[in-house]
């Protein structure tokens, strides 16, 4: 069966889809959550699945959490909630195949007691790739390298438009004007832009249905330095720029740094 499946369907390297999942471990369970995710779930619940070909975990220490805005966020309440985020790329055209597997394996993991319950999903969604904007044009790593290249920081930006038509206009403005201008001369190498897709009806009950299916865009800024280095000049005004365009409103700007796999580095800096 596997030999037959390998011979059919898309098998390119473009990140046609992503899983972006921001999670808050419950107070007192930070260490146990980190060990469970790194030692088991990152592999058994993600990377071992068909068509999920790249992944990376990121963390927001308390210092990074306090840089987030806006204070009243439609994504996280309070806006500091969600100190870990994991990002995964899925082969273009394989979202449906992957979802069938992920629903099945997560039911099995839950049944076998291999799901850490002391956590809250703050912002978890499968998303379709809409665009990637590069600072250096054709030079440098591509988006399919982004989760393997040793980027030093990630900024997650979530923007809501007023409706589907406005989202199309927002995407065009981001792709052709706003992001190229912001990236020029910056320490951000690229921005990937995604739109959320609804979770299946048979998803696990601890993951809430995705909001903003027709109106939301999720931007991932990949940085060559710690986001704290130039936060005020590079990222503090993203909401004002979007508001000035009249095309949407920023609901989250959140900086992260990469975790160090196999360690508990930063766990004691979350609160």
User: Torsion angle, CA of 128/177/158/152, rounded to 10 degrees?
Assistant: 90
Which pLDDT tens digits describe the chain residue by residue (271 residues)?
888 988 999 999 999 999 999 999 999 999 999 999 999 999 999 999 999 999 999 999 999 999 999 999 999 999 999 999 999 999 999 999 999 999 999 999 999 999 999 999 999 999 999 999 999 999 999 999 999 999 999 999 999 999 999 999 999 999 999 999 999 999 999 999 999 998 776 555 556 667 788 999 999 999 999 999 999 999 999 999 999 999 999 999 999 999 999 999 999 999 9
Return the structure tokens found at 182. Answer: 């912001």
Q: What is the per-residue pLDDT for 5?
A: 85
Q: What are phi and psi of 171, to 5 degrees?
A: -60, -45
For the residues of the chain, what is the DSSP string, one character each?
Answer: -HHHHHTSS----SEEEEEEEEEEEPTT-HHHHHHHIIIIIHIIIIITSTTEEEEEEEE--HHHHTT-B-SS-SSSSSTT---EEEEEEEETT-HHHHHHHHHHHHHHHHHTT-S--SEEEEEEEEEEEEEEEESSTTSS--GGGTTTS--SEEEEEEEE-SSHHHHHHHHHHIIIIIHHHHHTTSSEEEEEEEEE-PPPTTS-TTSPPPS-TTTEEEEEEEESS-TTTTHHHHTTTHHHHHHHHTS-EEEEEEEEEE--TTS-TTGGG--
* Contacts (Cβ under 8 Å, ≥6 apart) of 14: 91, 92, 129, 143, 144
For residue 201, the model assigns a pLDDT of 64
- Between CA 95 and CA 50 the distance in angstroms is 10
Model-level pTM greater than 0.85? yes
Question: Integer distance in angstroms from the first to the last C-alpha of the chain?
Answer: 48
pLDDT of residue 204: 56
């Amino acid at each position: 069966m596997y030999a037959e499946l390998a011979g059919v369907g898309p098998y390119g390297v473009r990140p046609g889809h992503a899983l972006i999942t921001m999670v808050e471990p419950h107070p007192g369970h930070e260490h146990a959550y980190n060990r469970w995710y790194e030692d088991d779930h990152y592999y058994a619940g993600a990377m071992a699945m068909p068509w999920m070909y790249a992944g990376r975990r990121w963390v927001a220490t308390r210092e990074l959490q306090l840089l987030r805005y806006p204070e009243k966020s439609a994504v996280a309440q309070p806006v500091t909630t969600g100190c870990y985020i994991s990002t995964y790329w899925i082969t273009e055209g394989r979202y449906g195949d992957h979802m069938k597997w992920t629903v099945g394996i997560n039911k099995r993991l839950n049944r076998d007691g291999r799901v850490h319950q002391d956590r809250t999903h703050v912002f978890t969604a499968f998303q379709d790739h809409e665009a990637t904007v590069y600072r250096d044009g054709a030079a440098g790593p591509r988006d399919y390298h982004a989760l393997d290249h040793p980027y030093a920081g990630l900024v997650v930006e979530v923007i809501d438009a007023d409706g589907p038509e406005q989202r199309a206009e927002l995407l065009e403005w981001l792709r052709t004007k706003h992001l190229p201008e912001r990236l020029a001369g910056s320490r951000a190498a690229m921005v990937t832009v995604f739109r959320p897709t609804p979770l299946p009806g048979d998803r696990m009950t601890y993951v809430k249905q995705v909001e903003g299916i027709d109106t939301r865009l999720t931007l991932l800024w990949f940085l060559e330095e710690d986001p704290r280095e130039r936060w005020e000049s590079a990222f503090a005004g993203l909401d004002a720029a979007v508001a000035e365009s009249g095309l949407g409103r920023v609901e989250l700007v959140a900086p992260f740094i990469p975790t160090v796999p196999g360690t508990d580095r930063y766990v004691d800096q979350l609160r």
